[in-house]
Amino acid sequence: MNPPPIDLKQYIREIPDFPKPGILFYDISSLLKHPDGWQLATARMTSVVCQWNPTLIAGIESRGFLTAAPLATRLGCGMLMLRKPGKLPGKTISHSYNLEYGSDSLHIQHDAITPNQRIVVVDDLLATGGTLQAAVTLLKKAGADVVGCAVMVELMALNGRKALETEVVSLLQYDD
């Protein structure tokens, strides 16, 4: 007899009023510290991302790194870091974008990719889609073939996937 499937939502902690009042934050820290849940989450993400046959997994600072690294290892491909300003040595390529509560920019090292590499962008959460779309724009500007985006958590009510110019998959969806 097969055991019941594990509901990964049981490992996602909800923190009200973070990072500012009125925002409900979905925290993957509680998933990371549960070994069986984290192994299952990365295995499920790997099974979805492998369909795109990526040569690189691009993780968005900082929680995207936590998912991108095990995915790259499981898929046998490289990993690329998309970082905030001032975090990468050497020459960088950047893209600035607006957020629901300010503006920011993402950077990659100028030689991080070669033209037409198949890249999947990974982050912990998809809300309005601004950060993921900025990552896609930056990578395309650098010559990448962005074949998809993958996130652990998607906030469906914010319609973030509509802002994206590429296919997106999410392991967990929240409607509120």
Asked whether residue 5 is domain-assigned, the answer is no
Under 8 Å between Cβ of 82 and 60: yes
Residue 174: what pLDDT? 96
Residue type, 63: R
Q: Residue 98's pLDDT band (boundaries 50, 70, 90)?
A: confident
What CATH code is carried by the domain that includes residue 134?
3.40.50.2020
Asked whether residue 3 is domain-assigned, the answer is no
- Does residue 152 surpass a pLDDT of 90? yes
Q: Is 163 helix (H, G, I), strand (E, B) or coil?
A: helix
Instruction: Give per-residue burial for 122-137: e unless 16+ CB within 10 Å, then b.
Output: bbbbbbbbbbbbbbbb
Pick 101 or 150 by higher pLDDT.
Answer: 150
Residue 165 is among the residues annotated as catalytic for this protein: no
Asked whether residue 15 is domain-assigned, the answer is yes
Asked whether residue 55 is domain-assigned, the answer is yes
- Percentage of the chain beyond pLDDT 70 is 97
Q: Compute the Cα dihedral for 96, 100, 102, 104 and give only its sign.
A: negative
Question: Given 61, 63, 83, 161, which residue is catalytic?
Answer: 63
Q: Are strands 24-27 and 13-16 parallel, antiparallel or unpaired?
A: antiparallel
Residue 154 is among the residues annotated as catalytic for this protein: no
Asked whether residue 158 is domain-assigned, the answer is yes
pLDDT per position as a tens digit, 5-19: 789 999 999 999 998
Of residues 106, 107, 87, 88, the one with CA closest to residue 97? 106
Residue 165: what pLDDT? 87
Residue 1: what pLDDT? 67
Domain that holds residue 33: 11-174
Asked whether residue 86 is domain-assigned, the answer is yes
Asked whether residue 105 is domain-assigned, the answer is yes
Angle between helices 63-75 and 35-49 (to 10 degrees): 70
How many structural domains compose the chain? 1
79 CB-near residues (< 8 Å, 6+ apart): 56, 57, 58, 59, 68, 69, 72
Largest CA distance in the chain: 56
User: Can you give the pTM of this predicted structure?
Assistant: 0.93
pLDDT per position as a tens digit, 1-54: 666 678 999 999 999 999 889 989 999 999 999 999 999 999 999 999 999 999
